[in-house]
Amino acid sequence: MAVLAGAEPFAHTGSTEAGFLLCHGFTGTPASMRPWGDHLAEAGYTVRCPLLPGHGTRWQDMNRTGWEDWYGAVREELLALLSACDSVFVAGLSMGGTLTLRLAEEFGDRIAGIVLVNPSVLTLRWDAKLLPVLSRVLPSVPGVANDIAKPGETELAYSRTPVRAAASLAKLWRLTRADLAKVTQPVLLLHSAVDHIVEPVNSQVILDGIGSEDVTEVVLENSFHVATQDHDASLIFTRTVDFARSVRRAGQVDAG
């Protein structure tokens, strides 16, 4: 199946001193991450943003994949970055934040720091408990894409939510929540004051559960869920670069 125009993965080869792995969200594509990636590339970082399996084509393809496939894709890219750069950061939006946390749990201090934008580890929706049953009889439900406050911005994502894939995401949430204490890297967490997709409790659960001592929380006052394409996008981008520089400076002082 052909990849939708604009949904392609992207990479920038920059410094071997530091790199960024970017992880896009559930039913989304690298298009939502491209401006972020361009900003990081302009700052000199090596950047990789894969297209997750089942994404960027048609929603039916997602129902043939699961969290192990999505995690495997970002894990492979992380290993490539770790072999190419001295320091590696991982950043994600929404489910991309879930994948980022899972990578942090597995790889420990091999990851220099993580950046989370409206990350998800649970949902309070009552019908989520029915996902295992619904996934056997219902292929899809209305989508969750395009929660953006900024006029004229459109998220390149599926208009339908594949139910079988959503049930698999719920499994990833449970696994990730159970191991949050294993996240010990420096963390920059940015979350929207108004988010119609990921409930605010997600950020609080993460902040309460992670084992990191270096944690910075930023509330995005002017954006909805897809904040990387919203009014606060430039704030996300500049804070990410500042965060990475601060972490690397601290590491150099500790090493010295």
Dump pLDDT digits (tens) for 51-90. 999 999 999 999 999 999 999 999 999 999 999 999 999 9
Q: Can you give the length of the chain in residues?
A: 256
pLDDT value of residue 139:
86
pLDDT tens digit sequence for 213-249 = 999 999 999 999 999 999 999 999 999 999 999 999 9
Q: What pLDDT sits at residue 116?
A: 98
Q: How confident is the model at residue 127 (pLDDT cuts 50, 70, 90)?
A: low
Residue 10: Cβ-neighbour burial (10 angstroms; 0-12, 13-18, 19+):
middle
Q: How confident is the model at residue 1 (pLDDT cuts 50, 70, 90)?
A: confident
Kindly name the residue from 32, 87, 94, 212 that is annotated as catalytic: 94
225 given a catalytic annotation:
yes
What would the DSSP string read from start to end of 31-70? GGTHHHHHHHHHTT-EEEEPPPTT-SS-HHHHTT--HHHH
Burial 160-177 (b: 16+ CB within 10 A, else e): bbbbbbbbbbbebbeebb
Provide the β-strand partners of residue 162.
140
To the question of whether residue 62 is assigned a binding role by annotation, the answer is no
Q: Print burial letters for 194-228: b (CB count within 10 Å at least 16), e (below 16).
A: ebebbeeebbebbeebbebeeebeeebeebbbbbb
- Evaluate if residue 129 carries a pLDDT over 80: no
Assigned CATH class of 10-251: alpha beta
183 φ, ψ (degrees, to nearest 5): -80, 110
pLDDT over threshold 60, residue 256 = no
Does the annotation count 195 as an active-site position?
Answer: yes
**95 assigned ligand-binding residue:** yes
Q: What is the CA radius of gyration of the chain?
A: 17
Q: Can you tell me the distance from the alpha carbon of 83 to that of 193, in angstroms, rounded to the nearest whole number?
A: 37
Q: Which of 225, 230, 231, 232 is catalytic?
A: 225
Q: pTM value?
A: 0.95
Q: Which amino acid is at 199?
A: E
Q: Which residue has the tokens 């090596």?
A: 46
pLDDT score of 153 more than 80: yes
Q: Catalytic: which of 147, 195, 230, 232?
A: 195
Q: Quick check: 121 and 95 in contact, CB under 8 A?
A: no
- Residue 142: pLDDT band (50, 70, 90) is confident
